[in-house]
Chain A
Amino acid sequence: MSTVAQGNVIAVMGDFKDPNKVTAAAKGIHEAGFTKFDIYTPYPVHGLEKAMGMPKTSLPKFALAGALFGLASAFALQWWTGAFEYKLNIGGKPLFAPQFGTPVFFELTVLCTGLTVFFTMFGYLCRLPNWHSKYQYDSGFQAATDDNFCVVLEADDPRFTTETAQALLAKFGAADVRIVHETLEHD
């Protein structure tokens, strides 16, 4: 990579190819007390988030809220329009009944859950879209969308020093352990 100007140290990175080794490394880094670290992988590696000590995702709560909102709005919409605002006798059928309301109950519940999950997951939990990453010029980091497991120990972790980070990654057998600087200018 031909970076034109470099700034402060922002991270120490190391590469893995073996899912077992990277899981062991994740566990070790977590146990060493690091909190600001991440592992970039081409596909979800089973159990890696547990090894990293991540809490359970809060997504189900949002999904439930979305589902309840959808169901409630389907109920309100059908009742209010049919039995309150615009009472129209059609073949003597009731103005509102849960039997004929069921298809729309179901569809709006699914629709609202899906939209909530989509926007919460990407927008809130994953903080996307975000079209710039400070690591994006690192080739090992880029290869994380190909076949590389890239472990990144971030410099703003309270326990971070380049030496401890490098030693930790080396201990678990990371390849190409490297200090990454901020890229100020890039061609």
Chain B
Amino acid sequence: MAMEAKEQVATATAGHTNGAALNGYHDSPSAKPVREPLVLGNKTIHQITEDICGVAEQKATPKFWAALLASMLVAGAGIGALTYTIAVGIGVWGLNNTIGWGWDITNFVFWVGIGHAGTLISAVLFLFRQKWRTAINRSAEAMTIFAVINAAVFVLTHTGRPWLDYWLLPYPNQMKMWVNFRSPLEWDVFAVSTYFTISLLFWFTGLVPDLASLRNRAKSKIAKAGYTIFSLGWTGSTRSWHHYEFAYMIFAGLSTPLVLSVHSIVSFDFAVSILPGWHTTIFPPYFVAGAIFSGFAMVLTLMLVAREILDLHDYITLKHIDNMNKIILATGMIVGYAYAMEFFIAWYSGNPYERFVFINRATGDYAWSYWMMMSCNVFSPQFFWNAKLRRNVWFTFGLSIVVNIGMWFERFTIISTSLHHGYLPSSWHYYTPTWVEITIFVGTFGLFMTFFLLFAKYLPIIALGEIKSIMPGAQPSHHHHDDHGEHGDYYQSGHYVDGADAVKKA
């Protein structure tokens, strides 16, 4: 039955004459594109459905199963180490009386930060009408959710008795006690849980119409049932799209300040304390910039791999990579500025404790970590001033990993240097992680990749509905005037070029 339907649809599509008009920019050589096209290969709307749904519909390759198995093994090792920690206690970590936050909080901040690029791409770039985001927003949002899950792993186990973690929530209890809203740690509970919930709703809302596309094409009973349930019975009704589009905009409007608030509040965990090196007003913007910086690097790492394996070259183009590299360069400079400003203020404040912490940071026991951070985060992105390097896939891939390493070291440097030499020299100490902490951290990468591989295989990895809506000729031509974004794409449309306005523009 379904087969028959598909054939019918296919013939219907072929029969329609303006399949060609949708990619009609070859028909009108007089209209030169102002900008590079967002999707290469002059695709029709139907081809986009075929390409993207095809990824989810093709049989999983041995390569996929091998990658999934490897990821699950790594995740399994992490879960093993996590179980050991919970069973024995966090004494199995390398923490000591002086250094109470080590890899646990470093990794928490690292993973939460990774998530920020996803929200930035899906929400902030949406509000700024950056249409290039459509090729990458779905997977970046998915990455956000998986990263926040990993962050939760650390923040929930570092409490020491994770089975009592519900004590973090304000609920009426027999002890007649309530949580302390004056603590930034409590703000963090609200910030991270809100962030996770809103990111999940935003992601799911975006998925619903695309799941409906998969549902209408699904052949196996299991796939059909799964896509049917989760697409909620979406039909593509304009009466629904109308509300849907508004909801999407509200979600983008909510997520934009939310993403800024989450890492600001994470930075309050440090800034509200009175420890030299932590107690600084620069922390919120500095943390947010760092989060976006590391998140974009992670998006690039994942997308470059997905682009190769799933053959998405026409959708994730060099233009996308170029744009993301520019954001990495810009946020890398902000982070570099923050590093410099911290040193300047330490000197300018005249506070001897503050000054000591920063001299110690660059020359003390953890200087190796500090210089690792500096070279990865400040020096290496400078290569991206070069347009050729920004468009070099292998170079970008390498540098995205370097940036992630650097951003991990940033969090480690901040946490360990301030703690290990505090106000009392008699308490000074050094911290090295144990195999348990290392295994948990490596394990979270396994978990992350497991989730990402499953997502890439079974869900539409590119936002179908959104990418279709930005194709040349996909929108009525009278609508060009209120579009200030990627004009070039509209001018490529067959309809538009035929119109009188095109003459004006040309």
Contact = CB atoms under 8 A, between A and B. Distances in A.
Interface of A: 1-2, 15, 17-20, 23, 26, 38-49, 52, 54, 57, 59-60, 63, 77-78, 81-82, 85-86, 88, 90, 93, 100-101, 103-104, 106-108, 110-111, 113-115, 117-118, 121-122, 125-126, 128-133, 135, 139-148, 150, 175-176, 187
Contacts of A26: 238
A81 B177 CA distance: 9
A104 B476 contact: no
30 contacts: A15-B12, A18-B21, A19-B477, A39-B238, A42-B209, A42-B464, A43-B468, A43-B469, A44-B244, A45-B474, A47-B479, A57-B243, A60-B250, A86-B177, A90-B180, A104-B187, A106-B257, A107-B190, A110-B198, A110-B258, A121-B246, A126-B240, A128-B240, A129-B233, A145-B49, A145-B213, A145-B235, A146-B9, A147-B44, A147-B46
A121 B16 contact: no
B63 interface: no
B237 A81 contact: no
Nearest to A124: B243
Contacts of B217: 146
Given A111-B194, A115-B197, A147-B49, 20 more contacts: A19-B476, A40-B235, A42-B464, A42-B468, A43-B465, A44-B238, A48-B241, A81-B179, A82-B178, A85-B178, A88-B180, A106-B261, A107-B194, A108-B190, A121-B247, A142-B216, A144-B236, A145-B215, A146-B46, A147-B468
- Which of A144, A150, A187 has most B Cβ within 10 Å? A144
A39 B234 CA distance: 13
B12 A44 contact: no
A81 B181 contact: yes
Given A40-B237, A133-B233, A57 B242 contact: yes
Interface residues of B, number: 83
Nearest to A186: B1
B190 A103 contact: yes
Interface string B209-225: 10011011100000000
Contacts of B243: 57, 59, 121, 125-126
A20 B233 contact: no
A140 to B, nearest CB: 7
B305 interface: no
Interface in B12-28: 12-13, 15-16, 18-19, 21-22
Nearest to B467: A43
Nearest to B470: A43
B500 interface: no
Contacts of B49: 42, 145-147
Interface of B: 1, 4-5, 8-9, 12-13, 15-16, 18-19, 21-22, 44-46, 49, 170, 176-182, 184, 186-187, 190-191, 193-194, 197-198, 201-202, 205, 208-209, 212-213, 215-217, 228-229, 232-247, 250-251, 254, 257-258, 261, 265, 268, 464-466, 468-469, 473-479, 495
Given A142-B216, A187-B1, A23 B9 contact: no
A5 to B, nearest CB: 15
B282 to A, nearest CB: 18
A46 B476 contact: yes
A108 B254 CA distance: 12
B1 A2 contact: yes
A187 B190 CA distance: 50
A85 B179 CA distance: 11
A54 B217 CA distance: 30
B205 to A, nearest CB: 7
B469 A118 contact: no
Contacts of A107: 187, 190-191, 194, 258, 261
A77 B186 CA distance: 13
A164 B110 CA distance: 63
Nearest to A85: B178
B182 A143 contact: no
Contacts of B176: 86
